[in-house]
């Protein structure tokens, strides 16, 4: 909304019947700014001028004063509108935008409490309710009121006369008010409400916003004009965030479907996995599959890039590794060599890191090979150390990949932790410091949870990424696969 457009709308909104003088001899004062420049205090006027009697200032015409007040009001309203729209435009999360809209709307209409119900008309969701000055129990009471008698329910259901604002200046005195609605209003202590739809021409109806007054009241004409301008802009921003949230949910769903729905049960070993997906979806993955003769294959990997193409490449790579592991899993080098050849032929512009471990739980023996991947971490009562693996380039980086495998034996009760480098990158530290932080987190695992690989993975995740960094949106995926050997 341009400034000229806003002024044009205010011209239409301005009260009629007031004279406006456009040919005033001097520019009017606006917001306390005086257009005249006074002479410096140290300047001495000539004697002839000092002898002349002072000339009294001409009185300001009433019409000029009216114009000044009107302009000052317009400037104040536009400044407020600009600040509020900037604040909502800075929100990058759907729920944050909803909280900002209901808070800003309450300030514009002069209410203390309110709520927003997000319920897109296309039925694709997401559906949510955000309250201002209302606890969860209060929102629950409001939801017990029959939907058809609430202002937001009429808007969301598209009932007649519900495509614009709905004002109820004195709820408790309305004839025919639903008894449950009257009871809830008395319990929560609100006597009036003002509701507006949240809709755009492209996305259609997204939801409804309702503000509640403690006493009988309703917004004035000026307030309704401002809230209309604000909601129009804020709803466009909310529609963009809603589409982004839907895209994220779709990518996350596809990613989760491409990963194991559950981990296998193999005698002699307990498994647990943790996965965090970035907002665009990434190519980090893990797998655990039972192999012949009681063996177990463990794998983690990461495909370069982000978004749907990386997710698709991850799915193809994981499915191929499962096939190679079944055929020649006892030789991890052969498994990764076959995977490298497949990647080079089918994804020539993409590289990937991978680690595959062939485990024999009955013998507590592990043979593993890695292609550009971070080494596993052994966590036990007597030691916490990284497994020494051979250095190797990622898959797809060399004309022919092959690196020697390594063999080690975990002690009874020890946990082998496999992970992707997203865990290290999310710390924001240099790699050496990130590895040190990971080692310290593993060494600090309490003895009370060392028997549970899931608790160990959770402890490492929270310690390496404190303050909720494991849950916030990030470009980096995180995968942890923990295997505790009996």
What pLDDT digit, counting tens, does each position of 286-337 carry?
A: 999 999 999 999 999 999 887 788 888 888 999 999 999 999 889 999 999 9
Confidence of residue 401 (pLDDT cuts 50, 70, 90): low
Enclosing H/E stretch for 442 = helix 431-443
Query: Do 159 and 274 belong to one domain?
Result: no
- Contact (Cβ atoms closer than 8 angstroms) between residue 99 and residue 130: yes
Average pLDDT for residues 413-436, to the nearest whole number? 93
* The domain boundary residue, chosen from 248, 273, 294: 248
Query: Do 132 and 161 belong to one domain?
Result: yes
Query: Do 242 and 316 belong to one domain?
Result: no
Start-to-end CA distance of the chain, whole Å, equals 67
The residue count of the chain comes to 486
- Contact (Cβ atoms closer than 8 angstroms) between residue 184 and residue 190: no
Total domain count, the chain: 2
Query: Do 296 and 442 belong to one domain?
Result: yes
Average pLDDT for residues 166-193, to the nearest whole number? 93
- Check residue 454 and give its pLDDT: 96
Report the percentage of the chain scoring pLDDT > 90: 59
Strand partners, 378: 385, 416
Average pLDDT for residues 181-210, to the nearest whole number? 94
Assigned domain for 6 exists: no
Query: Do 116 and 216 belong to one domain?
Result: yes
Q: How far apart (Å, rounded) are the C-alpha atoms in residues 397 and 15?
A: 73
Q: Is 45 helix (H, G, I), strand (E, B) or coil?
A: coil
Assigned domain for 33 exists: no
Half-sphere exposure of 361 (CA within 13 A, CB side): 23
Q: Of 1-10, 129-138, 456-465, 476-485, where does mean pLDDT reach its minimum?
A: 1-10
Average pLDDT for residues 260-275, to the nearest whole number? 92
- Contact (Cβ atoms closer than 8 angstroms) between residue 182 and residue 168: no
Query: Do 416 and 367 belong to one domain?
Result: yes
* The domain boundary residue, chosen from 199, 218, 248: 248
- Check residue 259 and give its pLDDT: 84
What pLDDT digit, counting tens, does each position of 11-55 carry?
A: 444 443 333 333 333 333 333 334 333 444 444 444 444 445 565
Assigned domain for 45 exists: no
Query: Do 385 and 238 belong to one domain?
Result: no
Instruction: Identify the CA nearest to 483 among candidates 430, 423, 418, 420.
Output: 418
Assigned domain for 47 exists: no
Q: Is 464 helix (H, G, I), strand (E, B) or coil?
A: helix
Residue 195 in this model has a pLDDT that exceeds 90: yes
Q: How far apart (Å, rounded) are the C-alpha atoms in residues 410 and 70?
A: 81
- Contact (Cβ atoms closer than 8 angstroms) between residue 469 and residue 411: no
- Check residue 59 and give its pLDDT: 59
Residue 106 in this model has a pLDDT that exceeds 70: yes
Assigned domain for 309 exists: yes
Query: Do 241 and 264 belong to one domain?
Result: no
What pLDDT digit, counting tens, does each position of 432-449 carry?
A: 999 999 999 999 999 999
* The domain boundary residue, chosen from 248, 276, 298: 248
Query: Do 366 and 231 belong to one domain?
Result: no
Average pLDDT for residues 350-375, to the nearest whole number? 93
- Contact (Cβ atoms closer than 8 angstroms) between residue 470 and residue 275: no
Query: Do 409 and 326 belong to one domain?
Result: yes
Strand partners, 291: 295
Q: Residue 197: is the preceding peptide bond cis (ω within 30°)?
A: no
Residue position matching structure tokens 């966590």: 379
Q: How far apart (Å, rounded) are the C-alpha atoms in residues 223 and 451?
A: 62
């Amino acid at each position: 909304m341009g400034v000229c457009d806003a002024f044009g709308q205010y011209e239409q909104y301005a009260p009629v019947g007031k004279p406006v003088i456009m040919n005033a001899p001097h520019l009017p004062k606006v917001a306390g700014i005086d257009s005249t420049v006074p002479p410096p205090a140290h300047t001495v006027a000539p004697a002839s001028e000092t002898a002349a009697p002072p000339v009294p200032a001409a009185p300001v015409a009433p019409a000029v004063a009216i114009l000044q007040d009107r302009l000052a009001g317009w400037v104040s309203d536009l400044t407020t509108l600009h600040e509020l729209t900037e604040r909502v435009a800075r929100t990058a999360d759907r729920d944050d935008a909803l909280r900002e809209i209901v808070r800003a709307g309450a300030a514009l209409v002069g209410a203390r409490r309110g709520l927003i119900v997000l319920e897109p008309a296309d039925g694709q969701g997401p559906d949510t309710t955000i309250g201002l000055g209302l606890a969860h129990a209060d929102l629950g009471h409001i939801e017990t009121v029959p939907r058809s008698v609430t202002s937001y329910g009429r808007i969301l259901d598209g009932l007649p006369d519900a495509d614009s604002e709905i004002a109820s200046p004195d709820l408790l005195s309305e004839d025919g008010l639903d008894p449950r609605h009257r009871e809830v209003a008395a319990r929560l202590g609100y006597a009036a409400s003002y509701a507006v739809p949240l809709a755009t021409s492209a996305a259609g109806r997204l939801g409804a916003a309702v503000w509640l007054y403690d006493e009988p009241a309703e917004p004035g004409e000026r307030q309704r004009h401002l809230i209309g301008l604000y909601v129009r802009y804020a709803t466009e921003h909310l529609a963009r965030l809603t589409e982004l949230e839907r895209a994220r949910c779709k990518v996350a769903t596809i990613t989760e479907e491409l990963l194991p729905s559950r981990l296998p049960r193999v005698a002699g070993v307990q498994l647990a996995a943790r996965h965090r997906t970035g907002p665009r979806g990434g190519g980090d993955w893990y797998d655990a599959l039972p192999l012949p003769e009681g063996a177990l294959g463990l794998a983690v990997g990461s495909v370069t890039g982000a978004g749907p193409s990386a997710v698709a490449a991850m799915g193809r790579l994981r499915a191929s590794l499962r096939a190679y592991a079944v055929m020649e899993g006892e030789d991890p080098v052969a498994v990764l060599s076959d995977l490298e050849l497949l990647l080079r032929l089918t994804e020539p512009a993409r590289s990937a890191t991978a680690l595959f471990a062939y485990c024999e739980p009955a013998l507590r023996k592990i043979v593993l090979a890695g292609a550009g991947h971070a080494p596993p971490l052994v966590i036990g009562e007597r030691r916490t150390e990284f497994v020494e693996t051979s250095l190797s380039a990622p898959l797809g980086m060399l004309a022919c990949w092959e690196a020697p495998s390594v063999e080690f034996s975990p002690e009874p009760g020890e946990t082998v932790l496999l992970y992707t480098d997203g865990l290290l990158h999310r710390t924001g530290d240099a790699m050496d410091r990130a590895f040190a932080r990971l080692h310290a987190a593993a060494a600090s695992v309490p003895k009370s949870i060392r028997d549970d690989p899931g608790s160990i993975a959770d402890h490492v995740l929270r310690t390496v990424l404190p303050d909720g960094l494991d849950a916030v949106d990030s470009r980096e995926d995180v995968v942890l696969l923990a295997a505790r050997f009996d």
